[in-house]
């Protein structure tokens, strides 16, 4: 049974601007070390940063909380399988919410172009 769904769309230029202005401080706020390493290995990291930003927003919407006191940027991590398929690792309050909602799985899908990044998330029991 689906417990929640979330979707997010963001302009890559918005993330690129924040990255240019705040640098490490910005990426350390929204991403975990492995996510940062993955994104920054690309010649143009902004679309990859934006996709992860969108994924975390979509996940927070699937939980029904948004990003804030109940679920922070650092409570969610977007990783990739060898096949390239993204998956979510929850930490801290993310794990607590997952258990409290009686969830069994959390699916995420990402996409990006030069100008936009989007993500969807589905929380299932």
Query: Which DSSP letter does residue 18 get?
Result: H
For the domain made up of 2-124, the CATH class stated in words is alpha beta
User: Using CA atoms, how far apart are residues 77 and 117, in angstroms rounded to an integer?
Assistant: 17
Q: Which one from 61, 81, 91, 93 is the annotated catalytic residue?
A: 61
| Residue ranges covered by each domain of the chain | 2-124
User: Using CA atoms, how far apart are residues 12 and 18, in angstroms rounded to an integer?
Assistant: 10
Q: Which one from 21, 93, 107, 112 is the annotated catalytic residue?
A: 112
- Catalytic-residue membership of 42: no
Q: What is the pLDDT of residue 33?
A: 97
In order along its 125 residues, the chain shows pLDDT tens digits of 999 999 999 999 999 999 999 999 999 999 999 999 999 999 999 999 999 999 999 999 999 999 999 999 999 999 999 999 999 999 999 999 999 999 999 999 999 999 999 999 999 99
Taking Cα atoms as reference points, which of 74, 78, 120, 108 lies closest to residue 93?
74
- Catalytic-residue membership of 112: yes
Confirm whether pTM is higher than 0.85. yes
Spell out the residues 6+ positions from residue 40 whose beta carbon is closer than 8 angstroms to its own.
27
pLDDT of 36-65, one tens digit each?
999 999 999 999 999 999 999 999 999 999
């Amino acid at each position: 049974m689906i417990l929640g769904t979330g979707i997010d769309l963001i302009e890559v230029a918005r993330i690129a601007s924040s990255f240019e202005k705040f640098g490490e401080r910005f990426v350390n706020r929204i991403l975990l070390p492995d996510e940062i390493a993955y994104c920054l290995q690309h010649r143009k990291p902004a679309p990859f940063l934006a996709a992860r930003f969108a994924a975390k927003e979509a996940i927070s919407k699937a939980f029904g909380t948004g990003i804030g006191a109940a679920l922070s940027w650092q409570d969610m991590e977007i990783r990739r399988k060898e096949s390239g398929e993204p998956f979510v690792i929850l930490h801290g309050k993310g794990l607590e919410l997952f258990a409290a909602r009686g969830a069994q799985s959390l699916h995420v899908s990402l996409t990006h172009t030069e100008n936009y990044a989007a993500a969807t998330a589905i929380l299932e029991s």
